[in-house]
């Protein structure tokens, strides 16, 4: 059985994952509008992945006999200065999510909730993967550069990362 504090923090994480989904969907729209179709497809796919992260916690809360609550989701940013700006923001956002997951782990430990602690391990590994993925994309901007056909090549490389 989950404590009230644990339920509240898990619900906040559901909201954050849904917000992440909307952030990436808004970025996908911006990319599609600029003809960056590889990045648009990648970000739309990632938006779906974030929703699956939200649903996983939603199901976990409900399975324990508690009730997930859906709150208002903040409006995501929809204008960006460049594709590099988009991916710098994805990386920074993932750092925020990682911090939130680690805080959740701390709460689980302090509440002696070992079941939730165990459940959260999947998110700890997933955040490692997400940070790695977005860092890898940022590195492409450094390696390829955006001069000439650079932007086209980066967009193609990002499309190839679709999981
Ligand atoms: Fe849910 O992993 Fe990204 O944010």
Taking only the tens of pLDDT, the chain with its 163 residues reads 899 999 999 999 999 999 999 999 999 999 999 999 999 999 999 999 999 999 999 999 999 999 999 999 999 999 999 999 999 999 999 999 999 999 999 999 999 999 999 999 999 999 999 999 999 999 999 999 988 899 999 999 999 998 6
Q: What is the pLDDT of residue 35?
A: 96
Residue 127's contacts (CB-CB under 8 Å, 6 or more residues apart) are: 94, 97, 98, 101
Binding-site residues, ligand 1, Cβ < 6 A: 17, 20, 50, 53, 94, 97, 126, 130
Q: Tell the burial category of 1 from Cβ atoms under 10 Å away from its Cβ (0-12, 13-18, 19+).
A: exposed
Q: What is the pLDDT of residue 77?
A: 97
Q: What is the pLDDT of residue 147?
A: 84
Residue in 26, 125, 130 to alter for ligand 1 test, most ligand atoms within 8 A of Cβ = 130
Six token digits for residue 138 = 């940022």
Six token digits for residue 55 = 């649903």
CA atoms within 13 A on the CB side of 4: 0
Residue 69's contacts (CB-CB under 8 Å, 6 or more residues apart) are: 11
Q: What is the pLDDT of residue 146?
A: 84
């Amino acid at each position: 059985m989950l404590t009230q504090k644990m339920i509240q923090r898990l619900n906040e994480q559901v909201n954050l994952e849904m917000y992440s989904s909307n952030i990436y969907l808004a970025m996908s729209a911006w990319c599609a509008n600029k003809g960056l179709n590889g990045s648009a497809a990648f970000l739309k796919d990632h938006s779906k992945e974030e929703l699956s992260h939200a649903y996983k916690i939603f199901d976990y809360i409900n399975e324990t006999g508690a009730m997930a609550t859906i709150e208002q989701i903040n409006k995501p940013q929809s204008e960006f200065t460049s594709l590099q700006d988009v991916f710098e923001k994805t990386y920074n956002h993932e750092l925020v999510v990682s911090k939130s997951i680690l805080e959740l782990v701390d709460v689980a430990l302090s509440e002696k909730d070992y079941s939730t602690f165990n459940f959260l391990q999947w998110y700890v590994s997933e955040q490692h993967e997400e940070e790695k993925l977005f860092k890898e994309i940022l590195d492409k901007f450094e390696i390829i550069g955006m001069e000439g056909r650079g932007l086209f090549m980066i967009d193609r490389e990002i499309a190839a990362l679709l999981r």
